[in-house]
Structure 1
Amino acid sequence: MSRRILVIKMSSLGDLLHTLPAISDAVAAEPGLIVDWLCEEPFADIARLHPAVRNVIVSGRVRWKKEGLNGKNIKERIGLIRKLRSEHYDLIIDAQSRIKSARLGLLCRGTLVGPSAHTATDKETRFMYKRSFRVDISQGAIESYRQLFAQALGYKHSGLPQFGITKHQWPEASLSGSNNLIFFHGTTWESKHWPESQWIDLLAIAKEAGEEVLLPWSSEAEKARAERLVESAAWGTILPRLSLWDLAGVISKCKGAVGLDTGLSHVAGAIGIPVVGIFGSTNSVLTGVKGALAKNLSAAIECAPCMLKVCPINATTPPCYETITPETVYSELEKLVAVNQ
Structure 2
Amino acid sequence: MHNNFHSQIRKILIIRLSSIGDVLLTTPAIRVIKKKFPEADIDFVIKKQFSDLLTHHPDVHHLYIFDKNDDNFSLKKIKKQIACQRYDLIIDLHKNFRSYYLTTFSRARRIIRYRKFSLRRFVFVNFKINLFKQITPIHQRYILPLNALGVFDDSDGLDIFLSKKEQSSIEKKYKDFLSQPYKLILGIAPGASYFTKRWLPEYFEKVICHFAQKSEIGIILFGNKQDRELIDFLNIKGYRNVLVAAGELSLLETAALLDKCHIVITNDSGLMHLSSALRKKLIAIFGSTTRELGFFPVTKDAIILENSDLRCRPCSHVGRNNCPKKHFKCMVEIHPQQVIEAVENFLT
Say whether 1:297 aligns with 2:305: yes
Which position in structure 1 is the counterpart of 2:125?
none
Distance in 1, matches of 2:274 and 2:223, equals: 15
Distance in 1, matches of 2:168 and 2:114, equals: 47
Which position in structure 2 is the counterpart of 1:225?
230
Say whether 1:306 aligns with 2:306: no
What stretches of structure 2 of length at least 5 have no aligned partner?
1-7, 120-131, 179-183
Which position in structure 1 is the counterpart of 2:85?
87
What stretches of structure 1 of length at least 5 have no aligned partner?
65-72, 122-134
Say whether 1:238 aligns with 2:235: no
Q: CA deviation at 1:197?
A: 1.2
Letter in 2 for 1:253: K
Q: CA deviation at 1:265?
A: 0.7
Which position in structure 1 is the counterpart of 2:62?
55
Q: TM-score w.r.t. structure 2 length?
A: 0.79
1:89 partner SS: coil
1:197 partner SS: helix
Which position in structure 2 is the counterpart of 1:67?
none
- The alignment covers a number of residue pairs equal to 310
Residue 196 of structure 2 is aligned with which of 168, 171, 191?
Answer: 191
Root-mean-square deviation (Å)? 2.9
Which position in structure 2 is the counterpart of 1:124?
none
Q: CA deviation at 1:75?
A: 4.2
1:332 partner SS: helix
Distance in 1, matches of 2:134 and 2:14, equals: 19
Residues 1:52 and 1:80: Cα distance change in structure 2 (over 3 Å): same
8 Å CA contact retained: 2:13, 2:91: yes
1:259 partner SS: strand
Bigger RCO (CA 8 Å, 6+ sep): 2
Residue 148 of structure 1 is aligned with which of 145, 148, 157?
Answer: 145
Distance in 2, matches of 1:7 and 1:163, equals: 16
Residues 1:110 and 1:44: Cα distance change in structure 2 (over 3 Å): same
Residue 273 of structure 1 is aligned with which of 276, 280, 304?
Answer: 280
Q: Percent identity?
A: 20
Residue 34 of structure 2 is aligned with which of 27, 34, 45?
Answer: 27
Letter in 2 for 1:266: H
2:18 partner SS: coil
Residues 1:150 and 1:120: Cα distance change in structure 2 (over 3 Å): farther
Distance in 2, matches of 1:117 and 1:173, equals: 41
Distance in 2, matches of 1:262 and 1:139, equals: 19
**Structure number with higher helix proportion:** 1
Letter in 1 for 2:339: V
Letter in 2 for 1:263: G
More divergent stretch after superposition (40-49 vs 265-274): 40-49
Q: CA deviation at 1:57?
A: 1.0
Letter in 2 for 1:236: V
2:310 partner SS: coil
Q: CA deviation at 1:230?
A: 5.0
Q: CA deviation at 1:156?
A: 4.4
Matches within 5 A, 1:103-118: 103-106=101-104, 108-115=106-113
8 Å CA contact retained: 2:32, 2:154: no
Letter in 2 for 1:57: Y
Distance in 1, matches of 2:229 and 2:29, equals: 37
Q: CA deviation at 1:86?
A: 4.2
Distance in 2, matches of 1:170 and 1:20, equals: 22
Residue 175 of structure 1 is aligned with which of 170, 178, 189?
Answer: 170
Letter in 2 for 1:222: D
Q: CA deviation at 1:147?
A: 0.9
1:139 partner SS: coil
Which position in structure 1 is the counterpart of 2:296?
288
